[in-house]
Amino acid sequence: MTDAPRYTPLAAALPASVPFVGPETQERSLGRPFTARLGANESLFGPSPQAITAMERAAREVWMYGDPENHDLRQALAAHHGVRPDNIVVGEGIDGLLGYLVRLLIGPGDPVVTSDGAYPTFNFHVTGFGGALHKVPYAGDLESPDALLARAAEVQAKLVYLANPDNPMGSHHPATTLAAMIDRLPQGTLLVLDEAYIDLAPEGTAVQIDADDPRVIRFRTFSKGYGMAGLRVGYAIAAPGLISAFNKVRNHFGMGRIAQAGALAALQDQAWLAQVRARVAEARASLAAIATANGLRPLPSATNFLTVDCGGDGAFARAVLTGLVARGIFVRMPFVAPHDRCIRVSCGDAAACAAFAAALPEALAAARG
């Protein structure tokens, strides 16, 4: 049709894809709400009560735009991390910030390296800007720094992505491994270090990085440990030059006032985060016990979810997942073999664990039958 919009060649060639189907879509299709929402690695323990109060207060002031500089939040984050505010950019979740980063560096054909089965939203952005994705296999259930570095050197990657801890496997590398990886980065390759789950990881997982080091940008979020996935606040720590480059492309007024207030209050309540860590550890143990009791193998987890090896192939795990979903338990699973032998279950409270425990044997029986 001649009147249709004239898309760019790149946009015309892109699929109208969705990185993840939301649980609400599944609920509408099922015709009823889930009993337990354990598929998106949200924090069922919720945000700090102080953050809730701050958000409620901000709701009454929401007629005002948020501060486009995110000044107060960046100051607080800088103090928290012992860096300077010009080392920090705040944005609409890690997803939004990854999009800006990819836009800044990646044009048609530019090489990017990631692990096959790692975060699909990063891939969505790379593909969306025409980048050439090169995928290396995991080493077992761990992302492989060696494989990532080798491929990055081979293709002269502009970006190499690694999540530590990893999603969807829940595995992690110690800080020392990351430090060694950074020292071996090829010239001109920027490490995209996604630390979304770092707040739930064991001590010694977060690598010490000079915030002015131009070889790395690290991403953090209020979605996981802080329990505010629906608030959409992430941030990145990097050298000032790269941080400043975000101002070339970001949606300057994109951070809402409630989001800014909620994140700031959450950051100031580290005691809440500490008790969430404890409750997550407890829930991980409960979920692992449930899996084991059903003959399944829980993988070690440094996150707020447990990845469970169902002991069969992808089709079997898919059948278990389908059985759980049909029984009102929202879970997800890795996309790629051999990890798709697993399902991925978010940590929840006692009621959520009990719902999972009740549904799992039935789902397994259905999958086996």
Contacts of a second copy in 20-49 (CB under 8 A)? 20-22, 24-25, 28, 37, 40, 42-47
CA atoms within 13 A on the CB side of 133: 21
Q: What is the DSSP letter of 186?
A: P
Enter the tokens of residue 178. Answer: 């990351």
Characterise 232 by phi-psi region: left (phi > 0), alpha (psi -120 to 50), beta (else). left
Which range of residues in 173-181, 250-258, 331-339, 356-364 is near a second copy by CB under 8 A? 250-258
Cα 152 versus chain centre, distance: 22
Size of the site for a second copy (CB under 8 A): 90
Cα–Cα distance for residue pair 35/12, rounded to 1 Å: 40
By CB under 8 A, what part of segment 125-144 binds a second copy?
A: 128
Q: How far is CA 294 from CA 8, 65, 230, 311, 314, in A?
A: 52, 51, 33, 11, 18
CB of 96 to a second copy, least distance (A): 5
By CB under 8 A, what part of segment 286-345 binds a second copy?
A: none
By CB under 8 A, what part of segment 253-272 binds a second copy?
A: 253-259, 262
Enter the tokens of residue 311. Answer: 């002991």
Which range of residues in 63-71, 173-181, 308-316, 335-343 is near a second copy by CB under 8 A? 63-71
String of DSSP letters for 92-108 = SHHHHHHHHHHHHH--T
Cα–Cα distance for residue pair 105/190, rounded to 1 Å: 10
Query: Which C-beta is closer to a second copy: that of 310 or that of 355?
Result: 355
Query: Which C-beta is closer to a second copy: that of 238 or that of 299?
Result: 238
Q: Give the residue, chosen from 33, 71, 137, 335, that forms a contact with a second copy under the rule CB under 8 A.
A: 71
Q: Give the residue, chosen from 85, 99, 165, 334, that forms a contact with a second copy under the rule CB under 8 A.
A: 99
By CB under 8 A, what part of segment 194-233 binds a second copy?
A: 214-215, 223, 227-232
Which range of residues in 62-70, 196-204, 321-329, 360-368 is near a second copy by CB under 8 A? 62-70
Which range of residues in 96-104, 198-206, 314-322, 350-358 is near a second copy by CB under 8 A? 96-104
Using DSSP's 3-state secondary structure scheme, residue 341 falls into helix
**Is residue 5 a contact residue for a second copy (CB under 8 A)?**
yes
Q: Give the residue, chosen from 76, 77, 106, 209, that forms a contact with a second copy under the rule CB under 8 A.
A: 106
Enter the tokens of residue 275. Answer: 């008790």
Cα–Cα distance for residue pair 347/286, rounded to 1 Å: 9
Cα–Cα distance for residue pair 274/277, rounded to 1 Å: 5
CB of 190 to a second copy, least distance (A): 5
